Structure 1
Amino acid sequence: MSHLIIIFLALLLMLSYNSVISQEQTGGDTLPCNEVINELSPCLSYLNKQYSSPSSFCCQGANYVWKQYGKKKKQRRGVCECLESVLPLIGQIDGSVISAIPQQCGLKIKIPPINGDFNCSMIH
């Protein structure tokens, strides 16, 4: 549990440093990275493989992020870049676990296996 608290505090510090993805990256639509991270933070226990499926709060957050930022390609890339920027703070995450969240939550979207080697410009 203390490990999750440290991760959460690290995320908060990062959010104070980088709270908004630049408008150029999202085509004029500002993407608040802090909101994305806040909505998806309940997914940490699933991403760290503490649980075999995401919690209902994780699914609600994933659904919210998709509805708010999933319609335009540049917004989807912005979400990817936001997630990619916090991965080093979280540690090693199996990218396939990230890509399984929509299926596990019953969302009709596809997320590539995002990890430290993933290039967000590949998002369509």
Structure 2
Amino acid sequence: MAHFLVPLCLILLISIQYVLSAPSCQTVTSQLSPCLPYIRNDSGNKGGNSPTVPCCTGVNNIYKLQKSKGDRVVICNCLKTVLINLGNMVIPSRVSELPKKCGVSYNMPPIDKNYDCNK
């Protein structure tokens, strides 16, 4: 019986560590909140043509959190929820170009309400 419990405990510990290390939606939104002025679509947009340094720092931090496909799915679903809640206030092309504008070598898909984050 003890021979069975040791591997089971190890699997459980590894699973818990994976779940705890996955990025939370709160982390994603707080890291990317400085990007809102850049991606917003309103007449008073002070975002200009380039994202700010704090925005790019957040984009880079989120990029570093993507250690697995599961992490990318969590981040994508979080972004999808935020973008749906912001509705027409967002310029979608600015969202997908954030990594490039910030010098991060990651191609962000054009996420919208119909995008399947599991792909």
Band the TM-score falls in, shorter-chain normalisation: 0.7 to 0.9
CA contact (8 A) 1:31 1:75 kept: yes
Could you tell me the percent identity over the aligned residues? 34
TM-score when normalising by structure 1: 0.70
The one-character-per-residue Cα deviations of 1:22-81 (angstroms, maximum 9, x if unpaired) are xx9xx63432111110000000011115221111110000001111x2121110110000
Q: Mind listing any 5+ residue stretches in structure 1 that lack a counterpart?
A: 1-23
1:110 to 107, 110, 117: 107
Q: Mind listing any 5+ residue stretches in structure 2 that lack a counterpart?
A: 1-14
CA contact (8 A) 2:76 2:117 kept: yes
Aligned to 2:71: 75
CA contact (8 A) 1:84 1:114 kept: yes
Question: Residues of 1 paired with 2:103 and 2:23: CA distance?
Answer: 24
1:94 to 87, 91, 95: 91
Aligned to 2:7: none
TM-score when normalising by structure 2: 0.72
Q: Secondary structure at the match of 1:120?
A: coil
Shift of 1:104: 0.5
Aligned to 1:32: 24
103-112 vs 83-92, which moves further: 83-92
| Letter of the structure 1 residue corresponding to residue 76 of structure 2 | C
Distance 1:114 1:101, change over 3 A: same
Matches within 5 A, 1:15-30: 28=19, 29-30=21-22
40-49 vs 29-38, which moves further: 29-38
Q: Secondary structure at the match of 2:74?
A: helix
Aligned to 1:15: none
Aligned to 1:13: none
| Letter of the structure 1 residue corresponding to residue 111 of structure 2 | I
| Letter of the structure 1 residue corresponding to residue 92 of structure 2 | G
Matches within 5 A, 1:42-61: 42-49=34-41, 50=45, 51-61=48-58
Q: Between Structure 1 and Structure 2, whose CA radius of gyration is higher?
A: 2
| Alignment size in residue pairs | 96
